Amino acid sequence: MTSNKYVIGVIVSNVSGFLSRVSGMFTRRGFNIDCLTVGETESSGYSRITVSFRGDEDIKLRILRQLEKLHDVKEVEVLDPNETVIRELLLIKVKNTPSTRQDIMTAVEIFRTKIVDYSTTALICELTGETSKIDAFIELMKPYGIMEMCRTGIVAIERGENCLKTK
C-alpha cells in the first residue's frame, strides 16, 4: 500500500453546522487528516475548506465520495500538487538572548521571515510558505528555545484558469 499526501479543496454552503458535518464525517469514518482549514470565498454564502491527509488511492476515493454525499458540500476536488500553490502561515515566539540574537536574525533573513514583535526577552516571527519550509524554520529555531507557536494549516489554490467554484 503506497501512502501519498493529498490536498482536497471543498466548497461548502455557509450554513450553521457545516464545519461539524465535514469534520464529523472524518471522525466517524475513521479517516485521519493532517490539517483542515476553513475560510471565506469570493462568493458569500459559500466557504472553502482545504483538507490534507495521507493515504492510498482507495482512502482518497472513499473520502471524496463521502464528502460529495454531504448535503452542504457543493464541490470537491483533489488538487494536483504540481499545479497548485500551497501556503501556510506560522507565528512563532522564540527566546531572545544576547548570545542567540545574531543567529536568529541570520536565519530570519535567509528564510525571508518577518519579525512582527520584538522585546528584549522574546521575539515573534511570521513566516509564510509551503509546509516543508515552515517545518525547516521551526527545526532551525528549536535550539534557541521556542516559547510558543501556532500555524494556520494549509490553504491551496490551483494555478492557471482552473477554479474550484459551485456550478
Partner 1 sequence: MGGRLKSGAQPPPPYQKIIKDFDTMKISGAKIVAETLIEQGCDTIFGYPGGQVIDLFDELYLCQDRIRNILTAHEQGAAHAADGYARATGKVGVVIATSGPGATNLVTGIATAFLDSVPMVAITGNVPTSLIGRDSFQEVDIVGVTMPVTKHNFIVKDIRELADTLRTAFKIAKSGRPGPVLVDIPKDVQTATWDFEPKPDPVRPYPVSFASEGKLKKASDLIAHAERPYIYFGGGVISGKASEEVRKLAEKIDAPMGCSLMGLSAVPSDDPRFLGMQGMHGHYASSVAEDEADLVIALGARFSDRATGNKSRYAQNFKIIHIDIDSAELSKNISADLPIQGDIKDAVFRLTAMVQKKEHPEWSARIAELRQEEKKRLASALALADKKLSADRLTPYDIVDAISAHSEPEDIVVTDVGQHQMWVAQRYPFMKPRTLLTSGGLGTMGYGLGAAIGASTASGGRTILFTGDGSFGMNLNELATAVSQNSPIVIVIMNNGVLGMVRQWQTLFFDKHYSNTTLERKTDFVKLAEAFGAKGARVVNKDELKKAAAEAFAYNGPFVIDCAVNSDEFVLPMLPPGGSIDDIITEIK
State the residues that interact with partner 1 by CB under 8 A: 16-17, 20-21, 24, 28, 58, 61-62, 65-66, 68-72
- 7, 79 Cβ separation under 8 angstroms: yes
**Closer CB to partner 1, 71 or 142, in the complex:** 71
**Closer CB to partner 1, 66 or 84, in the complex:** 66
User: Quick one: which of 40, 55, 41, 36 has its CA closest to 151?
Assistant: 36
Provide the minimum distance between the beta carbon of 25 and partner 1 in the complex, in angstroms, as a whole number: 8
Provide the minimum distance between the beta carbon of 24 and partner 1 in the complex, in angstroms, as a whole number: 6
Close Cβ partners of 166 (under 8 Å, ≥ 6 residues apart): 11, 43, 46, 74, 75
Provide the minimum distance between the beta carbon of 110 and partner 1 in the complex, in angstroms, as a whole number: 45
- CA distances from residue 142 to 49, 65, 80, 92, 121 in whole angstroms, order as listed: 31, 40, 32, 11, 16
**Closer CB to partner 1, 21 or 87, in the complex:** 21
d(CA 142, CA 135): 11
Provide the minimum distance between the beta carbon of 72 and partner 1 in the complex, in angstroms, as a whole number: 8
**Closer CB to partner 1, 42 or 58, in the complex:** 58
Provide the minimum distance between the beta carbon of 63 and partner 1 in the complex, in angstroms, as a whole number: 10
- CA distances from residue 25 to 10, 22, 98, 127 in whole angstroms, order as listed: 13, 5, 50, 32
**Closer CB to partner 1, 2 or 16, in the complex:** 16
User: Quick one: which of 77, 82, 94 has its CA closest to 139?
Assistant: 94
